[in-house]
Amino acid sequence: MANYPFGDSGFDSLFDAVQEQMDQILRSAGLPATLRALPGGRFPPVNVGISDDAAIVVGFIPGVEPETLNVSIEKGLLTISGERKSPPLPENARYYARERAEGAFSRVIELPGDIDPDNVEARYTDGCLAISIKKKESSKPRLIAIQ
Amino acid sequence: MNERNELAVKQEDRTGQPRGANLPAIDIFEDPTGITLVADLPGVTKDRLNIKVESEVLIIEGEASVQVPAGVRLVHGEMREPRFRRTFRLGPEFDRDAISANLKQGVLTLRVPRIREAQPRRIPVTAM
């Protein structure tokens, strides 16, 4: 028996496309597309990759101090949270565009079931947070010797 | 084992064809002496960033690169395209030779000063 393929019906991507189009129209009109004016509606964007021995999550979070980022794993869920502050506007200045996300953010990512939550490494470089979570030794692919 | 391997790109897209680019999120503010442009360019390093002014257009181009171990396959991607590009039209009142740029933690700050004549000036009035 297979699991029901949640979120894979194509409807999600259809709604995403509509949202994206709305964002573009509103943005070209000079209006913030969402309440917090985040491009694409969520911050930070996240990519998830897997290799034979690890799951790698990359959060694109430019302009934060690495020590203010919180990364935690609980019950197979990876949470990335933090806060991004804009420097105060100089005197006599006014904004023409404010698209960059500001304030507190949090993203939760479901990890594959075979990861080892005790074997995690996180690194922040050039505005990208790369988190590498090793898979459990028992779940790594192995060659079976034929006798 | 660690090599530059772009996690930000789908394997099947790597055909070398010109592709679309991300529109980076920006803040722009203006003060009497010029404008400041702040752009989010996560994963872009100094050597992969290209800022130029062609006739009246300011072009910001960069390419993100994220260091991950070899053999990583993308399973979920919200940043599918490592290239960033955005262009702005500069009015004649800006001094394109005096633009300064600073890149820190994936955030580019560009300062575009106004030409001195274009800055607001207070004309002193002297009493006779």
Q: How many of the other CB atoms lie within 10 Å of CB of A38?
A: 21
C-alpha to C-alpha distance for A22 and A25, rounded to whole angstroms: 5
Q: How far is CA B40 from the centre of its chain?
A: 7
Q: How many CB pairs under 8 A join A and B?
A: 125
- The letter for the amino acid at B9 is V
* Tokens standing for residue A138: 């028992």
CB contact under 8 A, B106 and A40: no
pLDDT at A71 over 90: yes
Distances (CA, A) of B128 to B22, B85, B125: 61, 57, 9
On whether any CB of chain B is under 8 Å from the CB of A97, the answer is yes
Interface of B with A (CB under 8 A): 7-8, 23, 25-32, 35-36, 38, 40-45, 64, 66-79, 104-107
Among chain A residues, the shortest Cα distance to B11 is held by A49
DSSP string, chain B: -EEE--TTS-GGG-SSS----B---EEEEEETTEEEEEEE-TTEEEEEEEEEEETTEEEEEEEE--EEETT-EEEEES----EEEEEEEPPTTB-GGG-EEEEETTEEEEEEEBPGGGS--PPP----
On whether any CB of chain B is under 8 Å from the CB of A51, the answer is yes
pLDDT of residue A58: 93
Query: Which of A16, A25, A36, A47 should be substituted to probe chain B, the one whose Cβ sees the most B Cβ atoms within 10 Å?
Result: A47
| Greatest mean pLDDT among A57-66, A91-100, A107-116 | A57-66
Look up tokens 């799951």; give the residue: A55
Tell me the torsion sign for CA atoms B45, B46, B48, B51: positive
Query: Which of A27, A58, A100 should be substituted to probe chain B, the one whose Cβ sees the most B Cβ atoms within 10 Å?
Result: A58
The yes/no answer to whether this complex scores an ipTM above 0.85 is no
A87-97: average pLDDT: 88
Confidence of residue B67 (pLDDT cuts 50, 70, 90): confident
Q: Indicate the helix (H) or strand (E) that contains A22.
A: helix A11-28
* pLDDT tens string B11-60: 444 444 455 788 999 999 999 899 999 999 999 999 999 999 998 899 99
* pLDDT tens string B70-117: 788 888 888 888 899 999 999 888 998 899 999 999 999 999 999 887
pLDDT at B10 over 80: no
* pLDDT tens string A1-57: 444 444 333 445 555 666 667 666 665 555 544 444 444 457 899 999 988 889 999
* pLDDT tens string A106-135: 999 999 888 898 999 999 999 999 999 999
- Architecture of the domain made up of B2-11+25-66+82-117: Sandwich (2.60)
Sheet holding A103-110, edge to edge: A70-74, A77-84, A103-110
Pairing of strands B73-77, A46-50: antiparallel
**Number of residues that this document lists for chain B:** 128
Residues of chain B with pLDDT > 90: what percent?
48
Residues in chain B closer than 8 A to A54 (CB atoms): 69
On whether any CB of chain B is under 8 Å from the CB of A89, the answer is yes
Phi-psi region of A25 (alpha: psi -120 to 50; beta: other; left: phi over 0): alpha
Confidence of residue A94 (pLDDT cuts 50, 70, 90): very high
A132-146: average pLDDT: 84
CB contact under 8 A, A63 and B78: no
Domain edges within chain B: 2-11+25-66+82-117
C-alpha to C-alpha distance for A118 and A100, rounded to whole angstroms: 34
Sheet holding A115-125, edge to edge: A115-125, A128-135, A54-60, A46-50, B73-77
Among chain B residues, the shortest Cα distance to A95 is held by B29
pLDDT of residue B74: 87
The answer to whether B31 and A92 are in contact (CB under 8 A) is: yes
CB contact under 8 A, B7 and A56: yes
Confidence of residue B3 (pLDDT cuts 50, 70, 90): very low
- The rounded mean pLDDT for chain B is 83
Query: Which of A16, A126, A129, A140 should be substituted to probe chain B, the one whose Cβ sees the most B Cβ atoms within 10 Å?
Result: A126
What's the CA angle centered on B13, arms B9 and B15, to 5 degrees? 125
On whether any CB of chain B is under 8 Å from the CB of A122, the answer is no
pLDDT of residue B2: 44
